[in-house]
């Protein structure tokens, strides 16, 4: 099995630390290591270096390679962002060209995982399931520990098979991010799992799904295949990417596919997609990289100070997120952390403010 770390996102909800030229996966939030470094080191504990690939934009290569020192040829570089479908499709066609029977696991560069041994065990189990049932795609689902409204959910269906202590189920349907009342119902129902977006599949099977559900993207990928490892690859790649529209793998393929399996797990997992998630991760005893701050009669706040020569003092306030960088200060209610992307929209609309993106 080959592991593909999807590392091309922008992380707009983690502004002002996550920026266009320094996205969240390349930033230190915990333990003096970037999110990408934490992910890469985690995967290295269970897989060989030559089997780990990094998917990102071509403009991100130097920044990310400097951090993890991965094998240069194991970077899969997109000429421009066209959504997760094209990112995954490009990984498929490149690795399928090397090995027609290759199984791929897609993981994210911005996830926090506490029990790493269990995570690696479940990844390898899912590989075994896909090798034995190559016409199926498999996901790893997490049993919810609280009513989360920021995640998508998987509703499991009939039992597919037993594997020692593990149970593998067919996926009945996917559920969008619920309201709090619905999330509380999901928490009480064992059939509902958090959708981690950790996909495991045979590359050939995924490419056949592209052919069926995203024919224009499939044709672009087949055209790209002809130029892989030639002097014209980069130029041809850019040309073919411009032909297709952006779309996520979820909307483009996953939600239209019938043969889907889910492996439930109790892995302690957090998607570091917002400041609220960063705050919650601190409960897992991670050390946050921050400078001086004083909090008096204040509770449940997240304060990150990136300025060595500045002191932040918080007095008599609760449930705030305060992020201070060299050129920007962001303050919001903890409950509004998902809306930080609205600030990005405002910055994009005003040319005078573009420098803060």
Kindly report, residue by residue over 63-110, the tens digit of the pLDDT: 888 888 878 889 999 999 899 999 999 999 999 999 999 999 999 998
Q: Please give the CATH topology (third level) of the domain spanning 2-274.
A: Spore Coat Polysaccharide Biosynthesis Protein SpsA; Chain A (3.90.550)
Number of H-type helices and E-type strands within the chain: 11, 18
pLDDT score, position 286? 43
| 311: three-class secondary structure by DSSP | coil
What is the mean pLDDT of the segment spanning 244-252?
Answer: 92
Task: Please report the sign of the dihedral spanned by the C-alpha atoms of residue 124, residue 249, residue 267, residue 321.
Answer: positive
Of 208 and 164, the structure prediction assigns the larger pLDDT to 208
| 143: three-class secondary structure by DSSP | coil
**pLDDT at residue 233 tops 70:** yes
Tokens of 210: 């592209």
Q: b/e string for 104-125 if b means 16 or more Cβ within 10 A?
A: bbbbbbbbbbeebeebbebbeb
pLDDT score, position 31? 67
pLDDT score, position 66? 86
Strands 269-271 and 103-108: unpaired
**pLDDT at residue 55 tops 90:** yes
pLDDT digits (tens, 9 = 90+) for 250-272: 899 998 998 999 999 999 888 88
161-170 LR contacts (CB < 8 Å, sep 24+): 161/129, 163/125, 163/128, 163/129, 166/122, 166/125, 166/263, 166/264, 167/264, 168/129, 168/138, 168/261, 168/262, 168/263, 169/261, 169/262, 169/264, 170/260, 170/261, 170/262
Residue 258's contacts (CB-CB under 8 Å, 6 or more residues apart) are none
Q: Please state the domain extents for the chain.
A: 2-274, 290-356
Please choose, from the candidates 150, 148, 120, 126, the residue with its C-alpha nearest in 3D space to the C-alpha of residue 139: 126
**pLDDT at residue 17 tops 90:** no
pLDDT, averaged across the chain: 89
pLDDT score, position 92? 96
Please choose, from the candidates 111, 88, 87, 113, the residue with its C-alpha nearest in 3D space to the C-alpha of residue 36: 111
**pLDDT at residue 26 tops 90:** no
Is residue 282 very low, low, confident or very high in pLDDT (cuts 50, 70, 90)?
Answer: low
Task: Note the pTM of the prediction, 2 decimals.
Answer: 0.89
Is residue 285 very low, low, confident or very high in pLDDT (cuts 50, 70, 90)?
Answer: very low
pLDDT score, position 210? 96
Measure the CA–CA gap between 145 and 188, rounded to whole angstroms. 10
């Amino acid at each position: 099995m080959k592991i593909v770390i999807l590392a091309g996102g922008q992380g707009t909800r983690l502004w002002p630390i996550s920026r266009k030229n320094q996205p969240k996966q390349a930033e230190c939030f915990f333990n003096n290591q970037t999110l990408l470094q934490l992910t890469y080191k985690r995967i290295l504990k269970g897989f060989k270096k030559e089997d780990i690939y990094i998917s990102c934009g071509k403009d991100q290569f130097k920044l990310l390679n400097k951090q993890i020192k991965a094998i240069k040829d194991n970077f899969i570089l997109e000429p421009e962002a066209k959504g997760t479908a094209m990112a995954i499709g490009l990984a498929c066609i490149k690795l399928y060209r090397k090995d027609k029977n290759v199984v791929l696991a897609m993981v994210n560069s911005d996830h926090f995982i506490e029990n790493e041994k269990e995570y690696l065990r479940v990844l390898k189990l899912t590989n075994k399931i896909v090798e034995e049932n190559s016409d199926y795609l498999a996901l790893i689902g997490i049993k919810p520990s609280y009513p989360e409204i920021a995640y998508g959910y998987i509703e499991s269906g009939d039992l597919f098979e037993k594997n020692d202590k593990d149970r593998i189920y067919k996926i009945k349907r996917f559920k969008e991010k619920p309201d709090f009342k619905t999330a509380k119902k999901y928490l009480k129902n064992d059939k509902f799992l958090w959708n981690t977006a950790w996909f495991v599949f045979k590359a050939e099977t995924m490419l056949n799904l592209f052919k069926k559900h995203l024919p224009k993207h499939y044709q672009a990928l087949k055209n790209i295949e002809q130029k892989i490892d030639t002097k014209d690859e980069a130029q041809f790649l850019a040309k073919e990417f411009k032909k297709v529209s952006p779309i996520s793998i979820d909307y483009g393929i996953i939600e239209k596919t019938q043969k889907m399996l889910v492996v439930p797990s109790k892995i302690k997992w957090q998607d570091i997609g917002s400041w609220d998630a960063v705050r919650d991760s601190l409960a897992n005893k991670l050390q946050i990289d921050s400078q001086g701050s004083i909090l008096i009669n204040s509770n449940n706040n997240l304060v990150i100070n990136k300025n060595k020569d500045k002191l932040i003092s918080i007095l008599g306030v609760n449930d705030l997120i305060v992020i201070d960088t060299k050129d920007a200060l962001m303050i919001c209610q903890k409950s509004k952390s998902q809306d930080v992307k609205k600030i990005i929209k405002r910055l994009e609309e005003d040319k005078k403010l573009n420098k803060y993106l």
